Amino acid sequence: MHSLLLLAFAAGSTHAAEISVADRGHAMNPQFSRDGSQVAFEVNNMSGKVDLYVSKLSAGNPVGTPTRVALPGASSSFGGGGSVAAAPNWHPDGALIFEGSNAGGAMRLYFWQPGGAAAAELLSSGQAGGDLSWPSISSDGLNVAFVSDMTGAGDVYVWNRSSNAVERVVSSPFSEMSPRYNADASQFAYSRKNNGTEDLFTFAGTQSSPRIGGNGDQSRPVWAGDTVVYFSNERGDDHWDIGASSGVGDKKTIARDVRLPMRSTPALSPDGQWVAWGSSIPAKAGSIYVTNIASGQTRTIDTGLVATGEPALGTSGGRLFLAFTALPSEGADWRSLHVIDVTGQL
């Protein structure tokens, strides 16, 4: 039985609860809703099947049984092996937008309203063909940027909710990935794979501009104010770091040897001041680390577990919560998802 453990480690708090789900697999990629009242997460059996769950939270505590989100045509789940539901993103109105594919089908974008039944396809094949991925929702909820491979390696498109129109805004012979809007939705950052490396760009208005490049991959950008925070393996394939860029050509390393999440961007605090990460160094893998983006100051949160990673930060009721995955002990089969109250620790 796979489980989500919610452990409250804040001073004076002793409440602990566990939520069980039927699927066996690794918990991955937790994402808090914008108000912190829900957390979406993936369960990956590492054999080609990924399920998506949503758990309600009340003051950080789980409420009821997690809901498994169903695609159209599935009776209660995604059905047979090879089906995928991944990369959850929360819309400001509380809906969930994510990537989904029934076994053998194309990867498409879906939306699901909590309390609803099956998810629905966000865009028709006539609006955007091919495999769709990397959805990013603007802060006002009016636009969704995503990647489609229908014209080649992968270009960036934007869907406008009001007009229901889709526009290709970034196109090149190379593969674009992971667009992410800034806070006021005036621009987005994205990466482009070219000649064996991956560089970061920004797009504003009608213009795409280089941001930073270098050896290796600069990948999965996310905005912290005017700063772009990203993963980088400039030091070699076995060394992933977290970098920050405050302007064109500017970059600094703020965390070294991080445990690279399978899908998510760097995990920012809701105020954009901190980034959470797990360590790839075995001796440090029982803790989650939270680094201040401006100062580089790092706080350590000892979990008492093993192989921690995949962090996310969210707020609810004026309190700050950290979600992360971990093994309960050495040699355990599956990684569980945990949430702890870290109010006052940053």
pLDDT 10s digits, 166-188: 999 999 999 999 999 999 999 99
pLDDT confidence of residue 75: 41
Q: Of all residues in the chain, what percent carry a pLDDT higher than 70?
A: 92
| Residue 283: φ, ψ to 5° | -70, -15
The answer to whether residues 227 and 220 touch, using CB atoms and an 8 Å cutoff, is: no
What per-residue confidence (pLDDT) applies to 20? 63
pLDDT at 10: 36
Give residue 74's pLDDT. Answer: 52
- Predicted confidence at residue 5, as pLDDT, reads 40
pLDDT per residue, tens digit, the chain (346 aa), is 444 444 333 333 333 234 567 788 899 999 999 999 999 999 999 888 999 999 998 877 788 889 999 888 654 444 445 789 999 999 999 999 999 998 878 999 999 999 887 899 999 999 999 999 999 999 999 999 999 999 888 999 999 999 999 999 999 999 999 999 999 999 999 999 988 899 999 999 999 999 999 899 999 999 999 999 999 999 998 899 999 999 999 999 999 999 999 999 999 999 999 999 999 999 999 999 999 999 999 999 998 889 999 999 999 999 999 999 988 888 889 988 888 899 998 8
In angstroms, the first-to-last Cα distance of the chain is 33
The pairs formed by 193-201 with CB atoms below 8 angstroms and a separation of 24 or more are: 193/153, 193/217, 200/228, 200/230, 200/245, 201/170
